[in-house]
Chain A
Amino acid sequence: MDFTRGIIAIALPLLAGLSGTACRAQSPVPGAKFGEVVPRDVREMYDRGLQFLASKQTDKGEWTGGGYEDGPGSVGLGLLAFLASGEDPNFGQYSNHVRRSLRSLITSQDATTGIIGQSMYHHGFAMLALAEAYGAVDERTLWPYKKGPRSIGQALELAVRAAVTAQKKNSLGGWRYSPDASDADTSVSGAVLVGLLAARNAGIEIPDQSIDKAIAFYKQMTAPSGQVAYTGGLGGFDESIARISIASLVYAVARRKDLPEYKATVNYLKQRLEQQSGQQWLEYGRYYQAQALFQGDIDAWDQWNKLLVRQLKAAQKPDGSFQGQFGPTLSTSFSLLALALNYRFLPIYER
């Protein structure tokens, strides 16, 4: 498909940017040169959302919603929303916001363990943001006053090592809130595994064994119907669009589309395009559903995306925010990232 090639075309420079220099081409209308113009209303919605996030970012590059979700995970997701917009991360209007958040992620990393944040959710999303920024953000301008504790690449490598170490302690081969936990769930594991896969895509070495173990965990948790369980010990299979999307996404990004479990999850999602996570963690569910459908079936995503745009248009507040269960800033980040598939700038969106 035309635009698939297009995606690769813009993704390659990003991957090539491992040298640490920014070399992304600016395009005034994202996607225009590939024949798929991002609709104006999506761009306007995204811009208003970014303006909201920018306005709420603290000097330290963080967002404080006053909830338990505050921390590096939220910072990472906000950073991803800026990176996914197509604005130049080094010279664009949000370049300072990008640098601030990146500095926050790096400084909040435990120098010894490599863990970022209070739980592995935070660690996973922070790792994903570092991976996506790695190579795109010019490190020479990242620390204007003093030298940072470590570079983006170093921070990412350290974070990867921490995640792999936590996984090794885990009998199930996944992750749970605590890096020392002995059990695992498919939700926390998704955050960490996608971060690891993004790091691998960015050129960081990840042991194959680690990915294989994590994928094995997901296979174990995926029912033939496509439904995905939460943890091994609790409940059974039930319908969680978020978890099905996470599983589908990790299979795809791990390049395991050959698995029957992958096909089952994609089919499940394709047959229920109108179905979202409902009242429970809606924004979180959409964030993964967007990526899973995009990876799984671009036509299905296209249909689903129309519904998403319609729903988000109706939901966006005058200040550009989206209200949700996670408070306005994190809900806005998740909502924008669900929309960001329309731009396809982030390497993790590569098909």
Chain B
Amino acid sequence: MRSWLLLVPLARLFGPTMAGAAPPVDPPSAVLHLSNGGFVPGKLIASSQPDLIRWQSTAFTAPFDMPLKAVTAVHFSVPAELPTATGDYCFELAGGDVVFGSLLALNDKEAELEIARLGHLHVRRSVINRMYRWRSSADLIYLGPNGLVGWQQAANKSGWKEEQDQPWTDQEGATIRGDFQLPARATLEFELSWKNKPDFVFALGVGEDEKTVQRGFRFEVWDRDLIIQRETEQEADVASVGEIGQGQGRIHLIVYLDQEKGRILVFNPAGKQLADLKVGGGVAQVLGSLSLANKRGDLRLERLWIGRWNGEPPRQVEGDKARIHRDDGSIVYGQVSRFDAASRAFVISDAKGESRIPEDQIAGVFLSHPGETGDRALAAVYQNGSRLSGAFQQVEKNAFTLSVPGIKETLSLPLDGLRSLVVLRPWETPAAIGGQPGVLELDGARLPGRLVDGHEQSGTSCLVWQPQGSSTSSPLRPGVSGRIVYKEAPPPQPVQRGASPPPQGPGGFVVDFLSALGGNQPAQTGGERKALYLRGGDVIPSEITSIDKNGVSFRTALSASTFVPHDKVKAVELALSPDPAIKLNKAKRERLLTLPRMQKENPPTHLIRSRSGDYLRGRLIKLDATKLLVEIRLEPKEIPRDRLSLIVWLHPDELGPARKTAAPAPAGAATRVQAVCNDGIRLTFLADQFASETLSGKSDVLGPCQVVLKEVGQLLIGGVIDKAAEGLVYQQWKLQSATEPKAFQADSGSSSGSRPLGTESALVGKPAPDFELELLKGPKFHLAQTRGKVVVLDFWATWCGPCLQAMPQVERVAGEFRDRDVQLIAVNLQEAPQQITSMLERHKLHPAVALDRDGAVAEKYAANAIPQTVVIDRAGMVARLFVGGGPHLGDQLRGALDAVLKEPGAKPTGK
């Protein structure tokens, strides 16, 4: 039972109206939430059936028909900035409905309202609770709840859920915090409810850290009392708000909070003041967040409105009577008999007769308490705060129809601007599913349901999903990635490593990996069965018969197939060593997987583990029934097979920082799946048919295969297979290249280890030897005439490979400085112009080439090793001299030119 209090500031809390929204285009993207906990993104599509949601998800080829009761809500994407608009009044109707518009008429039977985008409505008076004059949306800060939007769960906990758009939890210690940017003076109206006696802390005016929560204004349950308390370093006080009974219950409070003064006023909805607490203390701080912590029992946040408060304490109201609040704060009690449209005045009748209050003097009108709420299956909540609930009729392209109890017209509500459709009476217990029930998990979707018979066709997968509750089923679209979970956890008795569930994130498989590499992993596997592990994640119980240069030969009970090529194999188990004597710790593992620089050209391709836990890296050449032939650093060795327990393949393409995902999903023909069976077997194949609870297809290793669904713990679909495989234990064994020494990183191994910065030459700092040379394209270059410019001389010849590698860098960098008086001259050593021209054309280089036909200039510049690049400053002095080019010459030259151009002494010196 709700009771209401109209307070002036509260009236301003109502949000903007629906008017002014953009014209409808496509139905907005949305997420369908189901009563079984499922959810799936998609869009609402037209259907003429009442109480039916027809839902099309992009992951499926056909829509699902969901009875309304199988649905809890549809949440639409909401723009960051909520729409604002205008309206004369905010009307609060029965069932929590809210609309904005103008009042055309009111008598003792009904009201006529004009509502934006809905038109002229006839509303029974008995469903109108109160109406406020709507002046501005400026005082509204938050109107909700909007599910968990705006709230953040405390770290590592996810105890709060959304139910019918309301945050809800039954988890002890579950805490949410939301930054609603409370102003210094704020008013809040909230409703909290519970099924069993609650114990919670609702703290107002808190910040990021726990300390501020301790110092906030805290509603707490103390034994049987709800109290408001605050404790700062200087002061502390507490006041009782009311009693809390056993069992189900709720509170509905209106709070006026002045953080600067440290004061909080608590009212009940009937307008009665319940508490007035003032705790100052230190510097007043305005903190914008709320924190809601459930300590025990359950808790639901049903309503939260936040607005600005002008600081004026509200007047107390006498009981819960019909009344009119005037703008000046005075209250007129009495039943409003009608609205006189002609004079724009409300008429109040009481024993003394009629009195009139002009519309422009009133703040709000309390009519009555709605007696009945009527049949309301669904509530439509708009981004601007409007809400209408009723019977759900049908969906058209851009709108849906709703019969609202008490409103004469059947409403056609636009889909545009919707925030949520909330089903008010979802199933308590969803219908049985039949078949092999599982949960389909796709990107952003989770759908309990089952596979129904299907076969692969162009454009549709053989995986056909019928969600629980849906009367229709739909094939998955080809290329969709996800999984169907039949059993969440692996069976209790340990089997193969592969049986562990696919990792959820890095944390998952890192843990998996560490434990796997910790040396005790074989013990976990139980040693029941040896298996062949493929790179795609397959785990096939097998006896390895032999390995040769083509691949691995094996026997398996699963199929007649006996061979797999090397590039598909990740590991083979030859013997199960339950407890190897030698443990592998993290440091040893890293060493084992580090590839030394000198082996870069010949990386080991296999890692071989002995039964005692020793590891050996090398290149497997051959394995037969009795011995392993392996090349260890080019030295062939023979090892008796009975000493071996495991061989892991170290594929060359795994080496390096990032590896692209393995096999791309084949398009069209079939759906790639990996069945993760309850016994730890993993099998990847291209599924083409599902019938009789059996999935059939073809594995490229084992040939045709069939998997009976009841033996499957998880069915991985599409790209997720590769991601899951990445996380499996043996897939983590990858070589890492040893870090290159700095000398090699800087200069990939040409002539010298430490690159001179260009100032080592004896010529540096001395006047640049003058010269005059003929230019390739004429006429002549005379160094002395360039005084005042910076000149780069690049000594080169066409037969000099490093020169031709360096020249593009030199040309590019010199080009960057062209506007700053930098001139590049490529001095060619003793070659014919024709030869030079053809080489420059081939390499698409265009420097000015000076022809040092007799090598005299090269001699002056001691260019006895080329490439040699000389920077001559504005004063005509040799500023830098680089020899040998190299990949970093460009950067070095750029640095040199920058420095030379900045040198103060390098100004033109005349002449």
Interface residues of A (CB under 8 A from B): 66-69, 71, 118-119, 121-122, 176-178, 180-183, 185, 230-231, 233-236, 238-240, 272-280, 303-304, 306-307, 311
- Is B285 part of the contact surface with A, judged by Cβ < 8 Å? no
With a CB–CB cut-off of 8 A, which chain B residues contact A304? Answer: 634
- Is B77 part of the contact surface with A, judged by Cβ < 8 Å? no
With a CB–CB cut-off of 8 A, which chain B residues contact A311? Answer: 601-602
- Interface contact A178-B865, CB-CB below 8 Å: no
11 of the cross-chain contacts (CB-CB < 8 Å) are A66-B842, A67-B804, A119-B799, A181-B864, A182-B864, A234-B884, A272-B598, A273-B633, A274-B599, A280-B748, A311-B601
Q: A68-B799, A68-B839, A69-B801 are in contact. Are A235 and B752 (CB under 8 A)?
A: yes
Q: Which residue of B lies closest to A121 (CB)?
A: B799
With a CB–CB cut-off of 8 A, which chain B residues contact A280? Answer: 748-750
- From DSSP, what is the main secondary structure of chain A's interface residues? loop
Give the residue of B601, B635, B750 whose beta carbon is less than 8 angstroms from that of A275.
B601
With a CB–CB cut-off of 8 A, which chain B residues contact A306? Answer: 631, 634
Instruction: Report the minimal beta-carbon distance from A177 to chain B, rounded to whole angstroms.
Output: 6
With a CB–CB cut-off of 8 A, which chain B residues contact A69? Answer: 801
- Is B785 part of the contact surface with A, judged by Cβ < 8 Å? no
- Interface contact A307-B602, CB-CB below 8 Å: yes
A80 and B883 CA atoms in complex are apart in Å by 33
Interface centre among B602, B631, B799, B839 (most CB of A within 10 A): B799
- Interface contact A183-B865, CB-CB below 8 Å: yes
With a CB–CB cut-off of 8 A, which chain A residues contact B746? Answer: none
A306 and B753 CA atoms in complex are apart in Å by 31
With a CB–CB cut-off of 8 A, which chain B residues contact A274? Answer: 598-599, 601-602, 633-634
A308 and B750 CA atoms in complex are apart in Å by 23
Give the residue of B748, B753, B804 whose beta carbon is less than 8 angstroms from that of A236.
B753
With a CB–CB cut-off of 8 A, which chain B residues contact A71? Answer: 799
- From DSSP, what is the main secondary structure of chain B's interface residues? loop
Mask, B832-859, CB within 8 Å of A = 1, is 0000000100100000000000010000
With a CB–CB cut-off of 8 A, which chain B residues contact A118? Answer: 797-799, 831
Q: A68-B839, A69-B801, A177-B799 are in contact. Are A276 and B865 (CB under 8 A)?
A: no
Q: Which residue of A lies closest to B859 (CB)?
A: A182
- Interface contact A233-B801, CB-CB below 8 Å: no
- Interface contact B864-A176, CB-CB below 8 Å: yes
Q: A236-B753, A275-B601 are in contact. Are A183 and B864 (CB under 8 A)?
A: yes
A233 and B752 CA atoms in complex are apart in Å by 11
With a CB–CB cut-off of 8 A, which chain A residues contact B884? Answer: 234
- Interface contact A235-B753, CB-CB below 8 Å: yes
Instruction: Report the minimal beta-carbon distance from B602 to chain A, rounded to whole angstroms.
Output: 4
Q: A66-B842, A178-B855, A183-B865 are in contact. Are A279 and B749 (CB under 8 A)?
A: yes
With a CB–CB cut-off of 8 A, which chain A residues contact B800? Answer: 68, 119, 177
With a CB–CB cut-off of 8 A, which chain A residues contact B561? Answer: none
- Interface contact B634-A273, CB-CB below 8 Å: yes
A277 and B748 CA atoms in complex are apart in Å by 11
A306 and B631 CA atoms in complex are apart in Å by 11
Mask, B789-802, CB within 8 Å of A = 1, is 00000000111110
Give the residue of A177, A183, A230, A279 whose beta carbon is less than 8 angstroms from that of B751.
A230
Q: Which residue of A lies closest to B831 (CB)?
A: A118
With a CB–CB cut-off of 8 A, which chain A residues contact B865? Answer: 183, 185, 231, 233-234
- Is B742 part of the contact surface with A, judged by Cβ < 8 Å? no
- Is B212 part of the contact surface with A, judged by Cβ < 8 Å? no
Instruction: Report the minimal beta-carbon distance from B895 to chain A, rounded to whole angstroms.
Output: 21
Q: Which residue of B lies closest to A119 (CB)?
A: B799
With a CB–CB cut-off of 8 A, which chain A residues contact B750? Answer: 280
Q: Top 6 closest A-B pairs, CB basis?
A: A235-B752, A303-B634, A274-B602, A275-B598, A119-B799, A118-B799
Interface residues of B (CB under 8 A from A): 598-602, 631, 633-635, 743, 748-753, 797-801, 804, 829-831, 839, 842, 855, 864-866, 883-884
With a CB–CB cut-off of 8 A, which chain A residues contact B753? Answer: 235-236, 238
Extra contacts besides A69-B801, A234-B865, A306-B634 (12): CB < 8 Å: A71-B799, A118-B798, A178-B830, A178-B855, A181-B864, A230-B752, A235-B753, A238-B753, A274-B598, A275-B600, A280-B749, A307-B634
Instruction: Report the minimal beta-carbon distance from A292 to chain B, rounded to whole angstroms.
Output: 16
A67 and B804 CA atoms in complex are apart in Å by 9
A275 and B633 CA atoms in complex are apart in Å by 10
Q: Which residue of B lies closest to A275 (CB)?
A: B598
Instruction: Report the minimal beta-carbon distance from B73 to chain A, rounded to whole angstroms.
Output: 59
With a CB–CB cut-off of 8 A, which chain B residues contact A278? Answer: 600-601, 748-749
Q: Which residue of B lies closest to A187 (CB)?
A: B751
A276 and B842 CA atoms in complex are apart in Å by 31
A69 and B799 CA atoms in complex are apart in Å by 6
With a CB–CB cut-off of 8 A, which chain B residues contact A176? Answer: 864
Q: Which residue of B lies closest to A71 (CB)?
A: B799
Give the residue of A121, A185, A234, A239 whose beta carbon is less than 8 angstroms from that of B883.
A234
- Interface contact A236-B752, CB-CB below 8 Å: yes
Q: Which residue of B lies closest to A239 (CB)?
A: B749
A234 and B829 CA atoms in complex are apart in Å by 20
A221 and B779 CA atoms in complex are apart in Å by 44
A280 and B634 CA atoms in complex are apart in Å by 23
A234 and B752 CA atoms in complex are apart in Å by 7
Q: Which residue of A lies closest to B801 (CB)?
A: A68
With a CB–CB cut-off of 8 A, which chain B residues contact A181? Answer: 864
With a CB–CB cut-off of 8 A, which chain A residues contact B842? Answer: 66
Interface centre among A182, A234, A236, A311 (most CB of B within 10 A): A234
Instruction: Report the minimal beta-carbon distance from A110 to chain B, rounded to whole angstroms.
Output: 13
With a CB–CB cut-off of 8 A, which chain A residues contact B748? Answer: 278-280
A238 and B752 CA atoms in complex are apart in Å by 7
Give the residue of A177, A238, A272 whose beta carbon is less than 8 angstroms from that of B797.
A177
Instruction: Report the minimal beta-carbon distance from A329 to chain B, rounded to whole angstroms.
Output: 15
Q: Which residue of B lies closest to A304 (CB)?
A: B634
A253 and B797 CA atoms in complex are apart in Å by 31
A14 and B855 CA atoms in complex are apart in Å by 42
A238 and B750 CA atoms in complex are apart in Å by 9
With a CB–CB cut-off of 8 A, which chain A residues contact B602? Answer: 274, 307, 311
Instruction: Report the minimal beta-carbon distance from B655 to chain A, rounded to whole angstroms.
Output: 14
A66 and B798 CA atoms in complex are apart in Å by 11
With a CB–CB cut-off of 8 A, which chain B residues contact A234? Answer: 751-752, 865, 883-884
Q: Which residue of B lies closest to A230 (CB)?
A: B751
Q: Which residue of A lies closest to B749 (CB)?
A: A280
Instruction: Report the minimal beta-carbon distance from B456 to chain A, rounded to whole angstroms.
Output: 35
A94 and B756 CA atoms in complex are apart in Å by 49
- Interface contact B599-A240, CB-CB below 8 Å: no
- Interface contact B635-A303, CB-CB below 8 Å: yes
A68 and B883 CA atoms in complex are apart in Å by 19
A234 and B862 CA atoms in complex are apart in Å by 13
Q: Which residue of A lies closest to B600 (CB)?
A: A278
Instruction: Report the minimal beta-carbon distance from B843 to chain A, rounded to whole angstroms.
Output: 9
A239 and B744 CA atoms in complex are apart in Å by 10
With a CB–CB cut-off of 8 A, which chain B residues contact A230? Answer: 751-752
Interface centre among A68, A122, A183 (most CB of B within 10 A): A68
With a CB–CB cut-off of 8 A, which chain A residues contact B831? Answer: 118
- Interface contact A68-B798, CB-CB below 8 Å: yes
Instruction: Report the minimal beta-carbon distance from A325 to chain B, rounded to whole angstroms.
Output: 8
Q: A234-B884, A303-B634 are in contact. Are A240 and B749 (CB under 8 A)?
A: yes
A240 and B804 CA atoms in complex are apart in Å by 21
Interface centre among B598, B599, B748 (most CB of A within 10 A): B598
Instruction: Report the minimal beta-carbon distance from B857 to chain A, rounded to whole angstroms.
Output: 14
With a CB–CB cut-off of 8 A, which chain A residues contact B799? Answer: 68, 71, 118-119, 121-122, 177
Instruction: Report the minimal beta-carbon distance from B735 to chain A, rounded to whole angstroms.
Output: 14
Instruction: Report the minimal beta-carbon distance from B492 to chain A, rounded to whole angstroms.
Output: 47
Interface centre among B748, B750, B884 (most CB of A within 10 A): B750
Instruction: Report the minimal beta-carbon distance from B808 to chain A, rounded to whole angstroms.
Output: 13
Q: Which residue of A lies closest to B755 (CB)?
A: A235
A235 and B750 CA atoms in complex are apart in Å by 10
With a CB–CB cut-off of 8 A, which chain A residues contact B600? Answer: 275, 278
With a CB–CB cut-off of 8 A, which chain B residues contact A276? Answer: 601
- Interface contact B801-A231, CB-CB below 8 Å: no
A239 and B598 CA atoms in complex are apart in Å by 11
